[in-house]
A and B are shown apart, each in its own frame.
Chain A
């Protein structure tokens, strides 16, 4: 029993990161299921969390990646990848916001043009 506790003790980082990434992955799936999140916006989230599940479960894989990046303490690489993942998602959202504001601008202009067109008492010129 104490041996088992020892294993848990030694691998806390791994256990936490597995629980965290699996939990968040399931949470995103749940949100899509309830139609609170559109599939197209969630692919990136799912990819990031899936990647995290992989590197949390297969510790050697993380070690290789950390070595490639020149990071001595492998779990620190987890943080690096987490930050990178979040940055990519943020940029993705900036793109979506820009697209939305462009569409919003076009809609506002269209409303103004149409409002003028349907004005009561407006005489047709041309």
Chain B
């Protein structure tokens, strides 16, 4: 029996967090739900704790999504979980798709599985705006050049990791906007990544963390980080 934990980073998500936890527990009550409350100023931690179905890790200060998710990896690593799922706390990911997401790991054909909005032909669900899709495709093209693995949805925060990936990421994980950078890190270290088509919903409450002028800044920062990241030599194998 594989032990699985679902890492749910949440920053001011009191409106969504309860629904997210309940939906996860409905799909499989055996999963450990780990909510990482990233220094929220609202009642995210209290709401999550009162459900009684989640471990709540409350960061004393806001670290940003990367630092939050990494806390979850550290938890998963120390408590010997076999699989860690990264699952957003804003309700855009769908819990019933997790079994599909972990299938390649259980079969041993991948170390990391990424849920992609852009793989299915039907284009159902939330596809994001045109500009954002353009940005995501650009990042995908860059990561393809840099680590030779085709990733269509490089900013997707819906991912599954096996034990080795958890061990690596609990030590090193990019801080600010980590998803595209993590692809480079994992690719450079020889992790097998696959994507599977998933449907995402538009966020149900709260605000997206990236918008307007900030997205331009985001793109530049991520692209620079990806190129520099690809210059780093792989880590020694004993590191994970």
Q: Which A positions have Cβ atoms within 8 angstroms of B?
A: 105, 108-109, 111-113, 115-116, 126
Give chain B residues whose Cβ lies under 8 Å from the Cβ of A108.
Answer: 59-61, 63, 67
Residues of A within 8 A of B222 (CB): none
Interface residues of B in 75-89 (CB under 8 A from A): 75, 78-79
Q: Are A113 and B61 in contact (CB under 8 A)?
A: no
Flag if B67 contacts A109 (CB, 8 Å).
yes
Closest chain B residue, CB of each to CB of A109: B71
Q: Are B75 and A105 in contact (CB under 8 A)?
A: no
* CB-CB under 8 A for A112 and B59, given A105-B175, A126-B79: yes
Whether B79 and A109, one on each chain, are in contact in the complex, defined by CB atoms closer than 8 angstroms, is no
| A-contact 0/1 string along B47-63, CB 8 Å cutoff | 00000000111111101
Q: Which 3 residue pairs are nearest across A and B when measured between Cβ atoms?
A: A112-B57, A109-B71, A112-B59
B36 lies within 8 A of A112 (CB) = yes
Does B188 reach chain A (CB closer than 8 Å)?
A: no
Expressed in whole angstroms, the Cα–Cα distance for A46 and B61 within the complex equals 36
Q: Is the CB of B60 within 8 A of A111?
A: yes
Chain A CB within 8 A of B70 CB: yes
Chain A residues, Cβ within 8 Å of B61: 108
**Does B203 belong to the interface (CB within 8 Å)?**
no
Name the distance in Å between A29's Cβ and chain B's nearest Cβ. 36
Question: How far, in Å, is B78 (CB) from chain A's closest CB?
Answer: 7
Q: Is the CB of B58 within 8 A of A105?
A: no
**Beta-carbon contact of B63 and A109 below 8 Å:** yes
Set of chain A residues within 8 Å of B56, measured between Cβ atoms: 116
Docked-complex contact A105 and B55, CB < 8 angstroms: no
Given the complex, which residues of A lie within 8 Å of B75, measured CB to CB? Answer: 113, 116
Classify the interface of chain A: helix, strand, loop or mixed.
helix
Contact B71 A113 (CB under 8 A): yes
Query: Quick one: closest B residue to A116, CB to CB?
Result: B57
* B74 contacts A113, C-beta separation under 8 Å: yes
What are 23 A-B interface contacts by the 8 Å CB criterion? A108-B59, A108-B60, A108-B67, A109-B59, A109-B67, A109-B71, A109-B74, A111-B59, A111-B60, A112-B57, A112-B58, A112-B59, A112-B60, A112-B71, A113-B71, A113-B74, A113-B75, A115-B57, A115-B58, A116-B55, A116-B56, A116-B57, A126-B79
Q: Are B63's CB and A105's CB within 8 A?
A: yes
With a cutoff of 8 Å between Cβ atoms, the chain A residues found around residue B36 in the complex are 112
Query: Which residues of A sit under 8 angstroms from B71, Cβ to Cβ?
Result: 109, 112-113
Which B56-110 residues sit within 8 Å CB-CB of chain A?
56-61, 63, 67, 70-71, 74-75, 78-79
For the A-B complex with A111-B60, A112-B59 known, give 14 more contacts whose Cβ atoms are closer than 8 Å: A108-B61, A108-B63, A109-B63, A109-B67, A109-B74, A112-B71, A113-B57, A113-B74, A113-B75, A113-B78, A115-B58, A116-B56, A116-B58, A126-B79
Closest chain A residue, CB of each to CB of B60: A111
Q: How far is the CA of A105 from the CA of B173 in the complex (A)?
A: 11
Cβ A105 vs Cβ B79 within 8 A: no
The complex places the Cα of A112 from the Cα of B55 at a distance, in Å, of 11
With a cutoff of 8 Å between Cβ atoms, the chain A residues found around residue B57 in the complex are: 112-113, 115-116
Q: Which residues of A contact B175 (CB under 8 A)?
A: 105
- In Å, the complex CA distance between A126 and B78 comes to 12
Q: How far is the CA of A111 from the CA of B60 in the complex (A)?
A: 7
